[in-house]
Structure 1
C-alpha cells in the first residue's frame, strides 16, 4: 500500500500551478527518510511565466508610495503571526526541526524582520540636495532595481525567504523566489499567505512568485534576461556559479555563502559559561548554519579542561524527533548531507581524536550525534572546509598572534567570536579578525537592525539592517539648473 503524496505547486501571477511539463520531484521528511510530498520540477516555461508576471507587476508596485508597501508588509507580518502554528508544522516536516524551538527561535525573528523592513520602506536615506556647481542643484534618488531572482537554502527555509523577499518588496522590487528542492513546503505556504494579503489590498498579482525546482531551475532564473538582480544563500560553489552566470548580462549579485566561524577562547573567560553557550551555538539546527560555532580555538593553558567539558556537553545534548521537547536539534536535512558529515569524520587524520559522538543516531532518518574532535592541525580538511553538521573542532593556541593567524587562516569570512574578560584584547581581536561579524562573549545572536554578511569566499552583500535594504536599491543622480 502506498501513501499518496501531498501535492505542492508553484505560485505564479497570483495562482498555484503545476510545472508546465508536469514534471515533479519527491520531497523527503528527514526524520523518516520517506517522501511525503511532490513539488514541481520547474523548467524554462515556468521560469518564463514567473518572470513575465514579476515584470508586468513591477511598474505599479514600484510607483506605490512607501507607506503603501509598508502597509502590505505589516499585514504580511500579522498574517504570519496569525498562522504561525501552520508555518511551524510545515517547516518541521520540511526540515525535522524541533517544534518548540521553531516556535520560539524562528517565528518571532521572522515577523520582527518583516516589520523592520516595512519601516525601512519609508526611510530611504541619502545625501541632502545641494549645490556642488554654481547654478545647479543636485539630488540623489534611491530607486528599486526591478525584478529580483532569489534562491533560498534548506537550512532555514522560512527565515532565509524572509531575509530575501522582505527588503526586496519594501524597496519596491518584485520577486521570483525559488526554495531548495529539499524544503519547498513552507515557502509554498508562505506564498499562499503573502498572495492572499496582496490580493486583499488590490496589488498586482505578480509582485511575489514562487518557483519550485532544482539547481537547473535556479540556473535558468539567474540566466534569465528579465531579473536585474540575483540573490542566493548557499554554498561557495553555487555562489561562484551564480556570479559567473550573472556576469554575462551584468546582473547585480547578492551572495551569502559558507562559513567556518572561529571561536577564540582565552584563558580568562568564564569556562563553564563559554562551554555552555558554544556547545549550543555549535549544535543548534544540527550545525547547519554558516555562522555556527564549530571551529573552536582555545588557549593552551585551559585546552584540556575545555575539551573535557565540551565533550560532556556534547554527550548531554540530545537530537531526536520534532515533538520531543528535550532535543536541541533534529536530523540533517538530507541523505547527501548525512553522507558529507560522516565523510569528514571517516577521513580524520590519525592525530585527531573524537572526544564525543562521531556516529549516526538511529536506523532511519538523517540523525547524527553531537560530535567533538580535538588534536587537529590548521591544515586538516575538517578545519579548512565547512562541515555543516553537528561537529565542533578544537585546536589550541599559545599566543594572541597565533590565535589570530589560525582564526583568519581559512577561505571563509562570515562570522567569529572572542571569549575573554579583557576589554582591550577583545577590541584588538575585533579589529584583527577578518570576518563580517565579531561577537564578544556570545555567539550567533542576530537582530534586524544590524547587518549580516561576510568577506572572501563567504560572499558579498548584506542581509538585514538598512545596509541590506539598500542592497535592493539603485542610486540615481538628478541635476537641475536653477535658472529655469
Structure 2
C-alpha cells in the first residue's frame, strides 16, 4: 500500500527542513572547515534515506589531517572555556535548548527521514535534547564537592571537580542526536569541549545540530571549537580512542565496537564511557496486568523497528498465562501499520539499511535451525511504498533462552517468547542469563515478586523497571548497563562526574606542620 506523507510532498518537505536547519541545498557536498569535517575534493559519502532510498546529500569524509586540525581547534577553545564560570556555561546551554525548541519540528523530521524512526519518535528525540539542556542548566550551579574533617589540628580538607579537557563522543545511528546531547550538554557545563564523531549513516542530523549550536556561539562571541564535529569512518574513531589528548571517550554502539574502544583507551590509561548492546527482557508473572503489559511489549519490541539498545527482545512468560499472551500478540502483530516514517499513520518504519535487513533474515534462519518456531512476521516487504527494500514485518519466535541466537543482540524487530514455570526467581534467572545487562522489566501486581526483581539478587541490569517496559528512559536517571553493555552511565543523576577530574585539597592554616598518622620526621633542631 502506498504511504502518503502528511502536509507536503516528500521532496518539498525535506528541502524545506534542510533549509530551515541552515543546510541550503538538497544534494550538497559539504566543505565546512575545521569544526565540521573534511575539505573539498576528498572522499565523499552519499547519504540515502532508509525510508525511500532517495539520496539526501553527500558529505565529505574526514582524513587524519582533518582530525588533527579539529583536535587543535578544540584544545585552543578549552583554554578559555574552562575559565568561564559554570553558571555562565549553563547560560550558553540554556540558549542552545531554546534554539532546539525553535527548530524542533524540522530537526525531528530530519531525524525521522535520515534514520527511519517514525516522526513522533523523531520529535521525541529532539525533546530529549531539550530536556537534557534544561537538566544541564540546573546542574551548572550544582557541581558540588565535599568537605571532610582533618585529623590534623587547624587543617581542613575538601574535594572539588575540574574539567577534563576534550571529550570524544562516538554516537550510533539509532539515536543520531539525543545520546550526543546527553554527553555534550553535561560536558559543556562541566567546562569540557567536545569532539563528536557521529555515525556515518546519519551525519546530516549532526550537521544540523552544529548549525544550530553555531548560532548560539556566535551570539555569545565564543569560539566554535567548544563544540566540534568530524564526520568520518572507523579510522577517525580509532584515532580518537588512541589519542592521549582526549582524556574521555564516550562510545555508543555494539559490544564489538565498544571492546575495541575500551581496549585502546585503557591501554593509554584514559577514561571510557561505554553504552553498548542490550538483550532486554520483560517478565510477565501470573499477577501481571496484561492490558498494560501488552502495550509496553509491542512498543518495546517494534518501536524504532527494534533498533533501540533498550528494545524488548525476550518476553519471559509464566506458563499459566503463556498461551493467552501469545494469542493476544498474534492478533496485534499482523495489523501493525508499517510504512514511511513521516506518515502519521505509521507505527513501524524501516530498518536502517539492507545490511540490517540481511541480519534480520539470518537471525530468523539461525534460531529456527536451533529449534525455534517462527509464529508470525519475518517477511521483507516489497512493492509500492516499500521500494527502498528496508521494510520488514516484525517477527515473533517461540524459543529457548539458551539458544545461541537468543543470546545475541539482533538489531531488528524480533521478539522471542520464552516460557517459565514456578516462582519469579526462575524468571529472573532466565532474564539474567545473557551476556548483556542494559534494561529489564517485570509486570506484576504482587509486591513480593516486584521487590525480588529489584533486590540485589534480582535483575542484574543497569535499568530495572516495574510495570513499564524496557524502552523509553527519562533523562533524569543515569542511563547505562552492566556486563557486555559496558558499565557506563550517561544523562541524569550524578553521571556528570565522569566528565570531570576529582581533586582532594588539604589546607593548613596553622604555623605547624604535623604529618598524618602521627608520623614524626624532624629535620630541624
Taking structure 2 as the reference length, the TM-score comes to 0.88
- Do the aligned partners of 2:31 and 2:60 also contact (CA within 8 Å) in 1? yes
1:368-387 correspondence to structure 2 within 5 Å: 368-374=392-398, 376-387=399-410
Shift of residue 228 of structure 1?
Answer: 0.9
Q: Distance in 1 between matches of 2:150 and 2:350?
A: 60
Moved over 4 A (4+): none
Shift of residue 205 of structure 1?
Answer: 2.3
Shift of residue 10 of structure 1?
Answer: 5.3
Shift of residue 302 of structure 1?
Answer: 0.7
Q: 1:306 to 1:445 in 2, by over 3 A?
A: same
Asked if 1:206 corresponds to 2:230, the answer is no
Structure 2, unpaired ranges of 5+? 1-24, 512-525
Where does residue 205 of structure 2 map in the other structure? Answer: 186
Shift of residue 19 of structure 1?
Answer: 3.2
The equivalent position to 1:420 in structure 2, one of 436, 444, 447, is 444
1:11-410 correspondence to structure 2 within 5 Å: 12-13=34-35, 16=36, 18-19=38-39, 22-103=42-123, 105-350=124-369, 351-363=371-383, 364-365=387-388, 366-374=390-398, 376-399=399-422, 400-410=424-434
Deviates more, 1:426-435 or 1:131-140: 131-140
The equivalent position to 2:472 in structure 1, one of 435, 445, 450, is 445
Q: Distance in 2 between matches of 1:416 and 1:9?
A: 44
Q: Tell me the SS of whatever aligns to 1:258.
A: coil
CA RMSD of aligned residues (A): 1.7
Q: Tell me the SS of whatever aligns to 1:94.
A: helix
Q: Distance in 1 between matches of 2:249 and 2:72?
A: 16
Structure 1, unpaired ranges of 5+? none
* Number of equivalenced pairs: 478
Pair member with larger Rg? 2
Q: Tell me the SS of whatever aligns to 2:265.
A: helix
Where does residue 411 of structure 1 map in the other structure? Answer: 435
Deviates more, 1:31-40 or 1:235-244: 31-40
Q: Distance in 2 between matches of 1:5 and 1:256?
A: 33
Q: Distance in 1 between matches of 2:161 and 2:329?
A: 49
Q: Distance in 1 between matches of 2:63 and 2:140?
A: 33
C-alpha distance after superposition, 1:89-128 (max 9, x if no partner): 221221122223422x222222011110121121012212
Where does residue 7 of structure 1 map in the other structure? Answer: 29
- Do the aligned partners of 1:79 and 1:193 also contact (CA within 8 Å) in 2? yes
- Do the aligned partners of 2:171 and 2:197 also contact (CA within 8 Å) in 1? yes
C-alpha distance after superposition, 1:348-403 (max 9, x if no partner): 235322222111122522111121111x1222133100011111111000022321
Q: Distance in 1 between matches of 2:486 and 2:305?
A: 23
C-alpha distance after superposition, 1:115-164 (max 9, x if no partner): 10121121012212543433321121111111011101000101112112
Shift of residue 204 of structure 1?
Answer: 2.0
Q: Tell me the SS of whatever aligns to 2:345.
A: coil
C-alpha distance after superposition, 1:16-70 (max 9, x if no partner): 5533761111212111234321112212111111111111111211111111111
- Do the aligned partners of 2:112 and 2:342 also contact (CA within 8 Å) in 1? no
- Do the aligned partners of 2:373 and 2:397 also contact (CA within 8 Å) in 1? yes
Q: Distance in 2 between matches of 1:459 and 1:11?
A: 34
Q: Distance in 2 between matches of 1:337 and 1:451?
A: 29
Where does residue 464 of structure 1 map in the other structure? Answer: 491
Q: 1:17 to 1:110 in 2, by over 3 A?
A: closer
